[in-house]
Structure 1
Amino acid sequence: MKSRIIKIACMMQVGLLLLWAFSTGSPLKASAATVNEQFKVSSGVNYTDFRISESTRKQAVRVMEVNVNDPYTNVEVGVSSIMNKLKKTTTHALEHHYDGHLVVGAINASFFHLGAPINLVSQNNKLVHAGTISSSKDKYINEPIAFGMNSNGKGQIDHYDLSMNYVHNGKTYKITSTNKERSTNNTILYTPYFPSETTNTNEWGTEVVVTFPEAPTLEFGSQVTGTVEQVRNVGDKTKTIIPKNGVVISGNGKGSDQLKDVMVGDSITLSIDIDSKWKDSSFMVASGPMLVKDGRVSLSMNPNSSEAATRAPRTAVAINKTGDKVFFVTVDGRQSGYSTGMNLTEFANYLVSMGADRALNLDGGGSTTMAVRYPGTDTVRLANKPSDGVERTVSTILMAVSTAPKGEVRSITVKKSKEGKLNVGDSIKILPGTAVDTYYNPVKLSESDLSLEDVNKLGSVSGNTFTAKKPGKGTIKVKYGNVSTTVNIEIADNSTSSFKDVSNSFWGKTEIEELVKKGIITGYPDGTFKPNNTISRGETAVMLTRTLKLDTSNVKDPGFKDVSKSDMYYKEIAAAANAGLIKGREKDKFVSNGKLSRAEMAVLIQRAFKLPYENNKYFSDVPSSHYAYQSINSIAKLNITEGYPDGTYRPNNSITRAEFSVFLTRALK
């Protein structure tokens, strides 16, 4: 119910959002795409799930638009406090989520190796990690290009010029990088941010330990002078400890030669700087290649290289010309029939089509992740479908952050305790769904917060319960303070029943009657349906065969040792097995008279109607290791089942004939 309400609300907004999008240059200008899902995440953030169907492939693209002109909206980088500690994007986001600082969206960011970012990362005008840049145009990152928020609070994608030097005895020497493995002719600066207490280098280099009055911050534009406390010369295998209030300068080859005259007690000055356009930026994340520049495709790598030409999941960050709009963009891939992914040229063309002025490629493949705060919820959750089947751990993320205060409730959603037609005498509860305030922050509702009005006078209202009194179609108005929504109801005119043991007030009568009309069920010769009897696996095969209109005239023997051709349900069991709907319960045995469990029901419904698997957990008693975990979540997401009031599903419970009829009817709808 919740997902349907959200989709209906979003469809009502699409027209207005489309007009607004074309006037502001938002991603909705991508004409080849259709909107699968769309909603406002916060006062300055909009989210759209696009689907593209081409002649030979499909694409699933997700775009989060962040308006940094909004006074309550920021774009930030999420970096682990331990450099080589990888975490899921959603975990990163949760760690940065707190009152007054709500992470409402996130994507994966840096490429990484051995747990650490490969390229430059800075925060608050301070260097976190210098990284490296490849010399090959066949590699993603072969030029110093970064995305960040500049000193004016605008999104920026541009080249950068990082300067790192140390000065000894009046001579200036270049530092190659920070906190990475030292290689030939390199000079590496190891800081307390390095994940190990020592540099972990071999003996083929010179290392100098420098301490300062207090721990250096490596702020851009700063110089800090320290004292040499220790020198480890070439050939010495002693591990060099990184001081908490200092650094280690480690050189190999040429870098080692430049350190040979350094003595204990000498002064060394560190100098860290960045070019003016990046000075005082709130953060920088280097990546590559550049995809779009000045509104045109502009790849800063060889588009014919294997990394660029392969269709794969992709992640990018883009900006408009003024930098006041930042776009997080992902496309899923490696999933035939759902989303094949794009090569970098296709990805760049898509970004141009959606109105990007500049765009930078981020880590993709299995790392591609889009996390979104859905309406009425507090924290982000996974929105896309990673190619690994699960969310991969990453080194850094980009976050859309809302700092908005709490406001007045602006909209609510509700759900009915039972879907479908009611019979006279039936009662349903109107239950709280989601609610958001003026700034789209979630608001918790309880049943006592709601008041009901039977607009068409078709029944009676007591608290949050509606009881049907006469047939017809009507509306229940639901109010929360000054905010209201409506719920449609339909009460069937069921003066007669197909079965003498299914009364007009029976909770599943409407669904049972629908299956009778479709010829799916006929009941027993004595005129009963026996709704509370458990349904057998054989009876289930019959109902599925009739529902899907499977051919039973020419079936292949399914090979079950306990099902002979003379059995009552042989043809139906064979047809269902031939269609891949049912399998044996025991080795080579179908167990036709066995009671159908709620878990088996979920698997059968999911297979029969080819419902998409769902990984989001809905019930506390169904662990991810359960064989029917994805199927149970799938039917829960589509409101085919709601579970029990205590939040359980009870997968091992047997299911009755009436319950299966209701589930089957809901699936048909």
Structure 2
Amino acid sequence: MKKIFSFLLSGVLSLFIYASGITIGGKTYAVDTIVHSHDIGPGTKYAFYDIPAYPLKFHVMEVDLTNPYVDIETCLSGDKAVATETPSSMSARNNRPGHEVLGATNGDFYQFQDPIEIGIPRSGQYRRGECVTNPVGRASFVLTPDRVPYIDRVNFAGTVRSGDNSHRLHAVNMQRLEWETETAPNFMLLYTNAYGTETHATTGGTKVMLHAKEGELFFGANKNIVCVVDSVFANPGISPIPEQRAVLYGVGTAETFLKSLSAGDELTVFLGTDLASTPGLLTDFKEQMGGSDHIILKNGVPADVWDEEHPRTCMGISQDKTKVYLMVVDGRRAGYSAGATLSVLGDLFLAIGAYDAVNLDGGGSSAMVINQQIVNRPSDNKERAVGNGVLVISKAPIDDVTARLEFEPIHYILPSYCRFIPQVTAYNQYGLIVNPDFKDYTLSCSPEIGYIDESNAFVAYGNPGHGTITATYNGISVTKDVTIQETDFAMRLDSVILDGYEEYPIEISAIIDDKEFVLNPSTPQWEVTDPEICGISNGVLSGLKNGVTTVTGKLDDFTGSLKVKVEIPQTHIQQADQFTSGWEL
């Protein structure tokens, strides 16, 4: 048999990474596509790329906002500001029928003083139209209620007004402004239900409890939110934040303003929120996810510089604002993936079709979850609990009817003589996965490359060649190209023990592109040294009598042998222990 060949799996047209490679810093690199771009839900694709010569591995989700059944949401760890949670946990917790989480990544940098403020997003966050924490002028991804994405720095100008008096509202659910220390002596903070059930334990100052004058208390962007004062009281430290209530806290001039209020007074809260480059363009913010103060691309041109290689999580948008790209780059793994600088990220985003892009939290926080499975390799060797995240959501109606089939999003390069059961995914009419490992299909194949056995598995012939396999269910079919390749065979085991009850199909394996395939055990010619000890039929062994013997198989220029020991128990079920002593829980 010939030695194993290595194949370069290049190019995914839907994400504009071509077989000619990708240019990074003026140098063109060959790209291996480990997982081809494929649907993971309505309007959403996922792909996994490798640049071996760099080395660099990166994962991409592409979201088509013209599809009415997909949406992007930000989420909050534990559904409160002071908390941390892994992205896969946030994904699972927010996943429900009619609101399926197709994919998720980590989000913003977050405060890390535990337990006082750990998890508070540092750059601000809007979630489903409501302010979770105030923006602070850092680079962000923004999505409007009418599903138009932007990437820009986001500014905040909050005010609280009572009659003719007003005061700056410095922060929402953010205990301090990292880059405005001079405002601390006169600080005003708004606690909402997004913060949690109680305030933090600061000392001094005055607090005011509020409720909405009409309807529910909802703190959206750029709206006059009219509230009524419940009570004014000296700060006792920790205070409750009841449902549909908010708490204003002030020191210095802010405390003086709050002390001028009385129960029953009306108060107007205004959360002025703007894109830094185009103030006044947006009147409302549905989602905001901040990151570092680095814009990777602006109008197709590299914007900021950060010349350190790290694992990265980032977001990009297309020029026509119809597509959003979520990217995670693995890093800090010698020989596997080095990580990326901002200029490298710019080249990657340009290659996949982005026009603007922003850097989110990276390093050990970088994680991507696809259909509840983490797909990258976090640099900490495990997922890190983080402050918030980004979710890609299916809003399609609940529908369990299979309408489309797809094979695995990889090349099918199979060894000769192999027995192969393909993985097939079933989708409903909206593009949502009904069953990721669908079994109820009927398989067929090109007759020149192999046949389908009685258990609906493809069995390859011994000659190299090209053909197709087809999976069919209820009149729905999918076809995939298959390449049959000669390669080396090896016995997976060198010895086995049989008990006379269970049979053993002899396992012969071949490896192509680091994937192991099992050959059809009936293909080789088998001989048993002592046929009284064990029998063989179509490559399946059965124990006949206690003893030891050898089984030898030959196929073309392959010869493999297996030591077989048969130990038949006196009864099929034997008591192993009386369980009367020596056991502890």
- 2:180 — aligned with what? none
Give 1:58-73 correspondences, 5 Å limit. Answer: 58-73=55-70
Q: CA deviation at 1:513?
A: 3.3
Equivalence for 1:247: 246
CA separation of 1:500 and 1:198: change in aligned 2, threshold 3 A: same
2:88 match: 90
Equivalent in the alignment of 1:108: 106
**Residues 211-610 of structure 1 mapped to structure 2, 5 A cutoff:** 211-213=211-213, 215-233=216-234, 237=236, 239-275=238-274, 276-288=280-292, 289-299=294-304, 303=305, 308-372=306-370, 379-404=371-396, 406=399, 408-411=402-405, 413=407, 433-437=424-428, 439-444=430-435, 450=442, 455=447, 464=456, 479-482=472-475, 483=477, 494=524, 497=527, 499=529, 501=531, 505-507=538-540, 513=553, 530-532=563-565
Q: Which residue type is aligned with residue 287 of structure 1?
A: G
Contact 2:60 2:326 in 1 (8 A): yes
Matched position secondary structure for 2:90: helix
Relative to structure 1, the CA distance from residue 280 to residue 446 in structure 2 (aligned partners, 3 Å threshold; closer, same or farther) is closer
Q: 2:201 is matched with which residue?
A: 200
Contact 2:445 2:451 in 1 (8 A): no
**Following TM superposition, by how much is the alpha carbon of 1:337 offset from its aligned partner in structure 2, in angstroms?**
0.8
- Equivalent-residue separation in structure 1 for 2:329 and 2:321 (angstroms): 22
Specify every segment of 5 or more residues in structure 1 that has no aligned partner in the other structure, as ranges: 1-7, 134-142, 373-378, 524-528, 535-669
| Higher alpha-carbon deviation: 167-176 or 433-442 | 433-442
Q: Secondary structure of 1:394's match?
A: coil
Post-superposition CA distance 1:33-76 (Å, at most 9, x none): 5122213123522222122244xx51111111111122333222
Residue type of the alignment partner of 1:162: F
Answering whether residue 171 of structure 2 is matched by residue 171 of structure 1, we say: no
Q: Deviations over 1:575-628 (max 9, x none)?
A: xxxxxxxxxxxxxxxxxxxxxxxxxxxxxxxxxxxxxxxxxxxxxxxxxxxxxx
Partner residue, 1:663: none
Deviation at 1:108, TM superposition (A): 1.1
- Give yes or no for contact 2:35–2:47 (8 Å, CA) kept in 1: yes
Q: Does the CA contact (< 8 Å) of 1:422 and 1:492 recur in 2?
A: no
Give 2:291's aligned amino acid: S
Distance 2:356 2:468 in 1: 49
Following TM superposition, by how much is the alpha carbon of 1:151 offset from its aligned partner in structure 2, in angstroms?
4.1
Separation in structure 1 between the aligned mates of residue 551 and residue 416 of structure 2, nearest angstrom: 8
Taking the aligned partners of 1:324 and 1:173, their CA distance within structure 2 comes to 40
- Over 3 Å counting, the alpha-carbon distance change for 1:184 and 1:45 in structure 2 is same
Give the whole-Å Cα distance in 1 for the aligned partners of 2:449 and 2:56.
48
1:196, distance to aligned residue in structure 2 (A): 4.0
What is the CA-CA distance between 1:104 and the residue it aligns to?
1.7
1:41-190 pair list within 5 angstroms: 41=39, 42-54=41-53, 57-80=54-77, 81-113=79-111, 114-130=118-134, 133=136, 143-181=137-175, 183-190=184-191
Deviation digits for residues 477-496 of structure 1, max 9, x if unmatched? 75423226589897977557
Distance 1:265 1:455 in 2: 84
Q: Compute the displacement of 1:90 (Å).
A: 1.9
**Residue 244 of structure 1 aligns to which amino acid in structure 2?**
E
Aligned AA (1:122)? Y
Residues 500, 88 of structure 1: alpha-carbon distance in 2 compared, 3 angstrom cutoff = same
Whole-Å separation in 1 of the counterparts to 2:351 and 2:450: 52
Q: Is the 8 A contact 2:169 2:189 kept in 1?
A: yes
CA gap of 1:29–1:508, structure 2 versus 1, over 3 A, is farther
Aligned to 1:537: none
SS in 1 for 2:134: strand
Contact 2:295–2:303, Cα closer than 8 Å, also in 1: yes
Distance 1:226 1:326 in 2: 37
Deviations 1:141-193 (A, max 9, x none): xx343212224422211233333111134122110001232543311111222
Q: Using a 3 Å threshold, how does the CA distance of structure 1 residues 147 and 514 change in structure 2: closer, same or farther?
A: farther
Is the 8 Å Cα contact of residues 17 and 352 (structure 2) preserved in structure 1?
no
Amino acid at match of 2:320: T
Alpha carbons 1:125, 1:279 under 8 Å: kept: no
**Helix, strand or coil: the match of 2:91?**
helix
Write the letter of the residue equivalent to 1:507: V
Structure 2 SS opposite 1:336: coil
CA distance in 2, matches of 1:23, 1:333: 21
Q: Distance in 2 between matches of 1:124 and 1:342?
A: 31
Does the 8 Å contact 1:52/1:59 carry over to 2? yes
Cα pair 1:199 1:241 within 8 Å, conserved: no
Query: CA 1:495–1:119 in structure 2 vs 1: closer, same or farther (change >3 Å)?
Result: closer
CA distance in 2, matches of 1:313, 1:365: 5
Residues 367 and 475 of structure 1: CA distance in aligned 2, closer, same or farther (over 3 Å): closer
% same residue: 23
Q: Does 1:210 align with 2:210?
A: yes
Cα RMSD after superposing both structures: 4.3
Distance 1:286 1:490, change over 3 A: closer
C-alpha distance in structure 2 between counterparts of 1:222 and 1:453, whole Å: 62
Q: Which has the higher relative contact order, 1 or 2, with Cα contacts under 8 A spaced 6 or more apart?
A: 2
Task: Specify the SS of the correspondent of 1:230.
Answer: strand
Distance in 2 between residues matched to 1:128 and 1:500, nearest whole Å = 75
Deviation at 1:231, TM superposition (A): 2.9
Quote how far apart the aligned CAs of 1:362 are.
Answer: 0.5
TM value normalised by structure 2: 0.69
Distance 2:63 2:452 in 1: 46
One-letter amino acid of the structure 1 residue matched with residue 331 of structure 2: G
Contact in 2 for aligned 1:421/1:490 (Cα 8 Å): no
SS of structure 2 residue aligned to 1:119:
coil
Tell me if structure 1 keeps the 8 A contact 2:416–2:462: no
Distance 1:514 1:186 in 2: 83
**How many Å apart are 1:326 and its aligned residue?**
0.8
Q: CA deviation at 1:87?
A: 2.1
How many Å apart are 1:393 and its aligned residue?
Answer: 1.9
Higher mean C-alpha displacement, 34-43 vs 453-462: 453-462
2-side partners of 1:76 and 1:103: how far apart? Answer: 10
Q: Could you list the per-position Cα deviations for residues 259-304 of structure 1 after superposition, in whole angstroms to 9, with x for gaps in the alignment? A: 34334454322223334333233212233321211111111xxx4x
Q: Structure 1 CA distance, aligned partners of 2:76 and 2:15?
A: 32
TM-score by length of 1: 0.61
